[in-house]
């Protein structure tokens, strides 16, 4: 038989068989990836029995020998290689169907997502990073360094790979890393933990958060967040089926509203999710604030999930692990990671520390999320955590200098800059520049000034609470920070 495809565009899919007629192939074979400027005539020559030819079209995966303008020839063998087609271009000026006409036959299908995730869109970090690339803007939005981690850690990873440490690791972590995490935690918090029973290695702190929520929270459980909050918290709690309550930390100092918290905690509260040092504000919870949280948790039998990934980036005060307060270790999961401290965010090495009765739930969820984490990177991470104190001291000095460049520059450009005691973020008030909200300002900043910031309204349950604030990061080299500051000083003007 002969089939003539009269169109200016005929499609081949990535598996190299001909999309010889749009209406004859099932949906899964319709992948428009190749454009051909001339129409094609296809002659199909059956070489097998009529019985084979009568097989359902869903089994049809043709063997094709095609020629296009006598210069392209390919073959592809499929499961049922019963027909053969020879293709050649044909002069069809009068018969060609426009590309537009052909395209209109392809009806886009709506994206599908579970109801519990319907409200969550593409992350703001992805959106802003894409805009940054499009407009050539300096990215002070997303919190990843534009410089590399220390050589001694990278060399340890290379050595581990060369030594053949490349297969699945033990699910809850290679013993060397578990021991290093426990030793570092004792040095930082004074707490002795069992590396085998109380430390679980995860694929970044984000997975530690997910494993903790999914392993310890039941549908309908109430969890308290402090807004603004890292966006994965709400999404993960949604996946766990939790009921979220929110306590808002407000500028200028983002202090804990103690009375609001006391009113919010009840017999229905399962956990409080605490992030200190705090992203995005840079706030560090004081000992007094942590004592209030601890007393409420003990009184009401509430757990604490403590995200402490920025613990080594504490500038104005010392970081305090809530698990170290009296009566709190037994009800706390402490989560951390390697990426922020060692500028190796792409390695995705994290961990959760908790007493055995809580570790059980975390590990159960972890087993069915990722099961195990990169083996050679775990060994290298153990080397990193055993770094001398001088490394952490130098890290803090380096980030303090970067912070000063950005903070002074933002003030000079006209922003109201709020204090940041930890992390590598600074939150500012953008309203002196006259834009209606944080998203409008960030879009203007990218397109007209050439600098990226993150609108903070996405970090609130009620976006109105964050519409006046934007977040900048200073985890960039000094030249990048100075260039960004220069652009803002030159191009921003108050209204």
| pLDDT at 99 > cutoff 90 | no
Decide which of 113 and 378 is more confident: 378
Distance separating alpha carbons of residues 381 and 338, to the nearest angstrom: 7
CA dihedral 21, 23, 24, 28 (to 10 degrees): 100
Sign of CA dihedral 21, 22, 24, 27: positive
The owner of tokens 């087609």 is 85
Full strand arrangement of the beta sheet holding 416-417: 416-417, 425-429, 469-473, 454-455
pTM above 0.85, yes or no: no
Strand partners, 463: none
Q: Is the pLDDT of residue 425 over 60?
A: yes
The pLDDT assigned to 124 comes to: 79
Contact between 84 and 65 under an 8 Å Cβ cutoff? The reply is: yes
DSSP 256: -
- Which whole number is the average pLDDT over 446-467? 96
- To the nearest whole number, what is the mean pLDDT of the chain? 84
Beta strand pairing call for 243-248 and 303-307? unpaired
pLDDT at 258 over 70: yes
Reported as type and span, the H/E element at residue 189 is helix 175-189
% of residues, the chain, pLDDT over 90? 72
- Reported as a single tens digit per residue, the pLDDT across 335-392 is 999 999 999 999 999 999 999 999 999 999 999 999 999 999 999 999 999 999 999 9
* Residue 417 reports pLDDT greater than 90: yes
Q: Distance between CA 174 and CA 455 in Å, rounded?
A: 39
Q: Contact, 394 vs 286, CB < 8 A?
A: no
**Got the DSSP string for 8-30?**
S--EE-TTS-EE--TTTS-GGG-
Residues 6+ apart with CB under 8 A from 445: 137, 451, 452, 453, 470, 488, 492
Which CA distances in Å does 452 have to 142, 419, 486? 9, 20, 13
Confidence at residue 79, expressed as pLDDT on a 0 to 100 scale: 39
- pLDDT category at 127 given cuts 50, 70, 90 is confident
Look at residue 106 in the predicted model and tell me its pLDDT: 77
What's the CA gap between 452 and 136, in Å, rounded?
10
d(CA 398, CA 403): 9
pLDDT band at residue 104 using 50, 70 and 90 as cut-offs: low
Residue 495: band (very low, low, confident or very high) from pLDDT cuts 50, 70, 90: low
Gap between the Cα atoms of 328 and 297, Å rounded: 8
pLDDT in tens, 219-243: 999 999 999 999 899 999 999 999 9
Q: How far is CA 20 from CA 17, 23, 115, 162, in A?
A: 9, 9, 38, 49
19-64: pLDDT as tens digits = 333 344 444 444 444 443 444 444 444 444 444 434 443 333 333 3
Centroid of chain to Cα 18? 38
Backbone angles phi, psi at 3, to 5 degrees: -120, 125
Q: How far is 117 from 3, CA to CA, in rounded Å?
A: 45
Average pLDDT of the segment spanning 171-197:
98
Give the angle 434-435-438 at the CA atoms, nearest 5°: 130
Using 50, 70 and 90 to split pLDDT, how confident is the model at 111?
A: confident
Instruction: Tell me the C-alpha distance between 444 and 446, whole Å.
Output: 5
Instruction: Catalogue all structural domains in the chain, each as residue range(s) with its CATH number.
Output: 119-147+390-491 (3.90.1150.10), 151-386 (3.40.640.10)
What does the DSSP 8-state code read for residue 182? H
């Amino acid at each position: 038989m002969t089939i003539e495809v009269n169109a200016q565009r005929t499609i081949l899919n990535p598996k190299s068989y001909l999309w010889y007629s749009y209406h004859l192939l099932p949906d899964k074979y319709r992948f428009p990836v190749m454009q051909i400027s001339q129409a094609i005539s296809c002659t199909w020559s059956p070489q097998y029995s009529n019985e084979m030819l009568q097989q359902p079209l869903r089994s049809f995966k043709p063997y094709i020998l095609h020629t296009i303008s006598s210069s392209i020839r390919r073959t592809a063998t499929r499961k049922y290689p019963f027909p053969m087609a020879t293709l050649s271009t044909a002069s069809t000026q009068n018969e060609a169907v426009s590309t537009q006409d052909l395209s209109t036959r392809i009806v886009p299908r709506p994206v599908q997502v579970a109801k519990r995730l319907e409200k969550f869109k593409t992350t703001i970090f992805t959106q802003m990073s894409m805009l940054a690339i499009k407009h050539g803007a300096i990215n002070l939005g997303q919190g990843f360094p534009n410089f590399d981690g220390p050589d001694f850690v990278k060399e340890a990873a290379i050595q581990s790979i060369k030594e053949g440490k490349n297969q699945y690791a033990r699910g809850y972590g290679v013993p060397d890393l578990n021991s290093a995490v426990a030793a570092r935690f004792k040095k930082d918090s004074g707490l002795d933990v069992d590396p085998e029973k109380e430390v679980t290695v995860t694929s970044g702190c984000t997975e530690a958060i997910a494993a903790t929520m999914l392993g310890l929270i039941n549908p309908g459980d109430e969890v308290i967040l402090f807004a603004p909050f890292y966006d994965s918290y709400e999404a993960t709690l949604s996946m766990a089926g939790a009921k979220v309550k929110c306590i808002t930390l407000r500028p200028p100092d983002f202090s804990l509203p103690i009375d609001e918290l006391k009113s919010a905690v009840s017999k229905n509260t399962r956990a409080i999710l605490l992030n200190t040092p705090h992203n995005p504000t840079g706030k560090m919870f004081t000992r007094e604030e942590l004592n209030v949280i601890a007393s409420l948790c003990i009184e009401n039998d509430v757990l604490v999930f403590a995200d402490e990934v920025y613990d080594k980036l504490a500038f104005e005060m010392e970081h305090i692990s809530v698990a170290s307060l009296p009566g709190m270790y037994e009800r706390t999961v402490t989560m951390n990671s390697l990426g922020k401290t060692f500028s190796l965010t792409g390695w995705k090495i994290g961990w959760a520390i908790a007493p055995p009765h809580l570790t059980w739930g975390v590990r159960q969820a972890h087993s069915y999320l990722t099961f195990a984490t990169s083996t050679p990177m775990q060994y290298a991470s153990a080397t990193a955590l055993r770094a001398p104190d001088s490394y952490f001291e130098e890290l803090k000095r380096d980030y303090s200098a970067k912070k000063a460049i950005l903070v002074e520059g933002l003030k000079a450009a006209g922003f109201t800059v709020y204090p940041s005691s930890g992390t590598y973020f600074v939150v500012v008030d953008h309203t002196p520049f006259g834009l209606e909200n944080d998203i409008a300002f960030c879009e203007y900043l990218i397109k007209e000034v050439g600098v990226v910031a993150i609108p903070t309204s996405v970090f609130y349950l009620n976006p109105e609470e964050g519409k006046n604030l934007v977040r900048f990061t200073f985890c960039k080299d000094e030249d990048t920070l100075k260039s960004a500051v220069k652009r803002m000083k030159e191009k921003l003007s108050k209204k």
